C-alpha cells in the first residue's frame, strides 16, 4: 500500500489495513516453477501444510555463501488476520479456513475460562494493531504483511516491513534477555535445523492479539516459528504457540508466505501514528486492551 501526498496514510493504515488488504491477500506468488506449487493450496492451511511437509523433504534450496538456505527477498502473506480459526464471510471479511493445523479440529485449545475472554476482547477493546501497535508474533510475520524484506547476515536474520516495523532475529548463541524486559514483538533467537530456520520467541508483553477476532495469549507465551523454503517462491511458515496459562496444550498454525514477484523492489516507510485519524472514533466505542495481566485479573 502506498501513500499519497500529505504524508501520512494513518487513517488508511488503521481503518483499512485490517480490511481492505484482505481482499488483496494472496495476490502474489505466481510460481515460476514448472512443478505445481503447494502455494496453490494456500487457501486451505491444512492441505498446504501437508503438501509443504512432503515437498520440504525433497526440495534443495539455493544457499547463501555460509551454506544456509537463502531466504532473502520480498515475501508476502497469503492469508488474512481476521481470525486464526475457521470463519465464514461477513461484511468486508472473506471467509477463511482455520490456520490451526494442530490440533486437527482447527480450534485453538483454550482453557475453559479463556474462551469468554477471547470473545470479550473483540467486543470490548480495539484491536491493538489498529492503534498502530506492533503486531506481535506470529501475527506480524505469518499473515499480516504483504511486503516483508527478509535480510540474512551471518549473525542475524531481519524481517523489514514498511508498515509493521521490523524484527531482528539473533542467530548467535546467547540467552534471551531478562524476563523483566517485555517487548511487543518479543525477543527472538534463531538457529538452523537442516533447511529450516527455527526462531524461538519469548519476552512478548501480552498486549497483542493474534488476530482481529481477539484471540490472545499471555506475556508468558512462547512461540516457536519454523520457516522452510519448499520451492523457490514459497516459504512454509509454521508457528507453535505454547502458553500453559491460557491453553490446554501447545498448538500450531501454518501458512504460506510467497515471494513477491512484482518489479517493485522498494520498501517505503509508512507512517501510522503520525497521521492516525481514527483512534478517537475507535476508542469512542471500545477501550484500550490492557493486556493479559489486567484483563484476567491476575
Contact between 156 and another protein per CB under 8 A:
yes
Nearer to another protein, 109 or 291 (CB): 291
174 part of the interface to another protein, by CB under 8 A: yes
> How many other CB atoms are there within 10 angstroms of residue 269's CB atom?
10
Q: Is 288 in the site for another protein (CB under 8 A)?
A: yes
How many amino acids of this chain bind another protein (CB under 8 A)?
Answer: 48
Residue 72 found at the interface with another protein (CB under 8 A): yes
Return the number of the residue (66 or 193) whose C-beta is nearest another protein: 66
The residue range among 50-58, 67-75, 116-124, 214-222 that interacts with another protein, by the rule CB under 8 A, is 67-75
Q: Given candidates 106, 165, 206, 214, which one binds another protein under the rule CB under 8 A?
A: 165
The upper half-sphere exposure of residue 235, i.e. CA atoms within 13 Å in the direction of its Cβ, equals 31
Residue 267 found at the interface with another protein (CB under 8 A) = yes
In the chain, how many H helices and how many E strands? 7, 12
Q: Which of 13, 93, 132, 213 is in the footprint of another protein by CB under 8 A?
A: 132
Rounded to whole angstroms, the Cα distance separating 211 from 64 reads 34
Per CB under 8 A, 200 contacts another protein: no
116 vs 287 by CB, closer to another protein: 287
Task: Provide the strand spans (E) within the chain.
Answer: 73-77, 100-102, 125-126, 148-152, 156-161, 166-170, 187-193, 196-202, 222-231, 234-242, 251-259, 287-288
Residue 261 burial by Cβ neighbours in a 10 Å radius (0-12, 13-18, 19+): middle
268 interacts with another protein by CB under 8 A:
yes
248 near another protein, rule: CB under 8 A: no
User: Coil, strand or helix: which one is 156?
Assistant: strand
The distance of closest approach from Cβ of residue 77 to another protein in the complex, given in angstroms and rounded to an integer, is 18
Find the DSSP H helices in 125-213.
139-142
**DSSP letter, residue 274:** G
Exposed, middle or buried by CB within 10 Å (0-12, 13-18, 19+), for 245?
Answer: middle
Q: What's the closest the beta carbon of residue 215 comes to another protein, in angstroms?
A: 20
Q: CA-CA distances (angstroms) from residue 157 to 166, 168, 189?
A: 11, 6, 9
The span from the CA of 194 to the CA of 61, in Å, is: 11
Q: What minimum distance in Å lies between the beta carbon of 149 and another protein?
A: 7
- Binding another protein (rule: CB under 8 A), the pick from 271, 277, 278, 286 is 271
CB of 48 to another protein, least distance (A): 22
Question: Which residues sit at the interface with another protein, rule CB under 8 A?
Answer: 2-8, 64-66, 70, 72-74, 131-134, 149, 151-154, 156, 158, 160-161, 165-166, 168, 170, 174-175, 177, 181, 183-185, 259, 265-269, 271, 273-274, 288
Amino acid at each position: 500500500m502506498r501513500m499519497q501526498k500529505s504524508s501520512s496514510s494513518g487513517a488508511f493504515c488503521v481503518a483499512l489495513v485490517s480490511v481492505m488488504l484482505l481482499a488483496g491477500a494472496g495476490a502474489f506468488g505466481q510460481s515460476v516453477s514448472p512443478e505445481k506449487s503447494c502455494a496453490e493450496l494456500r487457501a486451505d492451511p491444512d492441505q498446504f501444510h501437508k503438501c509443504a511437509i512432503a515437498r520440504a523433504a525433497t526440495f534443495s534450496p539455493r544457499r547463501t555463501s555460509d551454506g544456509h538456505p537463502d531466504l532473502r527477498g520480498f515475501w508476502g502473506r497469503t492469508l488474512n488476520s481476521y481470525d486464526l480459526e475457521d470463519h465464514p464471510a461477513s461484511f468486508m471479511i472473506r471467509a477463511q479456513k482455520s490456520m490451526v493445523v494442530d490440533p486437527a479440529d482447527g480450534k485453538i485449545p483454550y482453557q475453559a475460562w479463556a474462551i469468554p475472554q477471547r470473545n470479550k476482547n473483540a467486543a470490548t477493546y480495539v484491536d491493538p494493531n489498529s492503534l498502530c501497535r506492533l503486531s506481535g508474533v506470529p501475527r506480524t510475520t505469518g499473515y499480516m504483511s504483504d511486503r516483508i524484506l527478509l535480510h540474512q547476515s551471518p549473525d542475524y536474520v531481519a524481517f523489514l516491513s514498511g508498515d509493521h516495523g521490523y524484527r531482528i532475529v539473533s542467530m548467535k548463541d546467547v540467552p534471551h534477555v531478562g524476563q523483566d524486559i517485555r517487548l511487543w514483538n518479543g525477543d527472538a533467537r534463531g538457529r538452523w535445523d537442516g533447511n529450516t530456520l527455527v526462531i524461538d520467541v519469548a519476552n512478548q508483553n501480552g498486549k497483542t492479539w493474534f488476530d482481529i477476532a481477539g484471540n490472545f495469549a499471555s506475556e508468558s507465551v512462547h512461540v516457536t516459528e519454523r520457516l522452510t523454503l519448499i520451492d523457490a517462491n514459497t516459504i512454509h511458515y509454521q508457528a507453535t504457540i505454547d502458553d500453559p496459562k491460557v491453553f490446554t496444550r501447545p498448538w500450531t498454525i501454518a501458512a504460506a508466505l510467497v515471494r513477491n514477484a512484482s518489479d517493485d523492489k522498494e520498501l517505503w516507510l509508512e507512517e501510522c501514528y503520525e497521521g492516525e485519524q481514527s483512534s478517537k472514533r475507535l476508542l469512542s466505542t471500545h477501550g484500550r486492551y490492557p493486556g493479559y495481566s489486567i484483563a484476567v485479573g491476575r
